[in-house]
Amino acid sequence: MRTIIRQRSIFNHLADIEANEHNMIGIRELTYRIGKKELLHNLSFEVKSGELLAVLGANGAGKSTLMKLLCREINPTSGQIYLRGCDLQSYKLPELAKQRAVLSQQNTISISFLVHELVMMGRYPHFDQYPAEADVVIVKQVMVETGITHLSGRDYNTLSGGEQQRVQLARVLAQIYDCKDACLFLDEPTNGLDLRYQQQVMELARSLADRGYCVICILHDINFASRFADKILMLKEGRKVAMGTPVEVINCENIHETFSINVKLMPCEGYSCPLVIPATSNIN
């Protein structure tokens, strides 16, 4: 009996390795529990490099918990997370930092730093005490890409919420800028940004995915998700409602299941996926 189990586990292990070779991130039967409360239940999915995955879900659906597990801020109760086919736990922290960057939701800093100092912090995993020439070049580059060059000499704490968000994005981008197939996790990156910058941030995320990055992004706006993401994962109470391309998953049933609201879908010229707008009677 024991031999059979062992053989099976070896077989499973080999299958895991094979399956994960092509995936940047693999999630297997992931469950996270605090006490008796189950925040994530038996979640499995894969993300390839070059893909942008949008995670949708109501408040408390487990999106942020999933993000924390992916970042290794917390450890799963059961199940595994694979990065490039290796268990996330097997990575050393500095090693992980060179191939995975995270934009968190809350970014208050305790001590006033200048914007360019803060962006340079993104390069910390790459140098010992003081930055090399290449790090300085990358910092300048990401500041151009995120449109914050003019804020370079400003004190971070005097910036507006939207500006702070862009500075943090620049820092996160700097961290993995020269690793061409790194992972980028964005927790509601459009928070606090006006329409123009929301779009700019999502376009940036899209272009990073096109460059080969693996981008996982928590979003609230369904239309943004279907416009920019390759795949959408819909979560409800820690369980997967649906996952697939926007065309596959964006429908009234899934949205009703996920958010408990009624919506209308409106086909739009030039877009493969219909627009989602609230239905007249919304509360169910």
Per CB under 8 A, residues contacting other proteins are 68, 71-73, 93-98, 100-102, 104, 106-114, 117-118, 121-122, 124-125, 129-130, 157-160, 175
169 burial class (0-12, 13-18, 19+ CB within 10 angstroms)?
Answer: buried
Q: How far is the CB of 34 from other proteins (least distance, A)?
A: 10
Q: How far is the CB of 82 from other proteins (least distance, A)?
A: 19
Cα-based distances in Å from 76 to 30, 34, 279: 7, 10, 38
Strands 183-187 and 100-103, how do they pair?
parallel
**What SS3 class is residue 28?**
strand
d(CA 80, CA 87): 7
Burial string for 211-249 (b: 16+ CB within 10 Å, else e) reads eebbbbbbbebbbbbbbbbbbbbbbbebebbbbeebeeb
Q: How far is the CB of 32 from other proteins (least distance, A)?
A: 14
- Closer residue to other proteins, CB minimum distance, 15 or 132: 132
Beta bridge partner(s), residue 46: 26
Q: How far is the CB of 93 from other proteins (least distance, A)?
A: 5
- Closer residue to other proteins, CB minimum distance, 42 or 104: 104
Q: How far is the CB of 154 from other proteins (least distance, A)?
A: 11
d(CA 132, CA 122): 13
- Closer residue to other proteins, CB minimum distance, 39 or 241: 39
d(CA 277, CA 257): 16
- Closer residue to other proteins, CB minimum distance, 111 or 195: 111
- Closer residue to other proteins, CB minimum distance, 118 or 225: 118
- Closer residue to other proteins, CB minimum distance, 60 or 94: 94
Q: How far is the CB of 26 from other proteins (least distance, A)?
A: 20
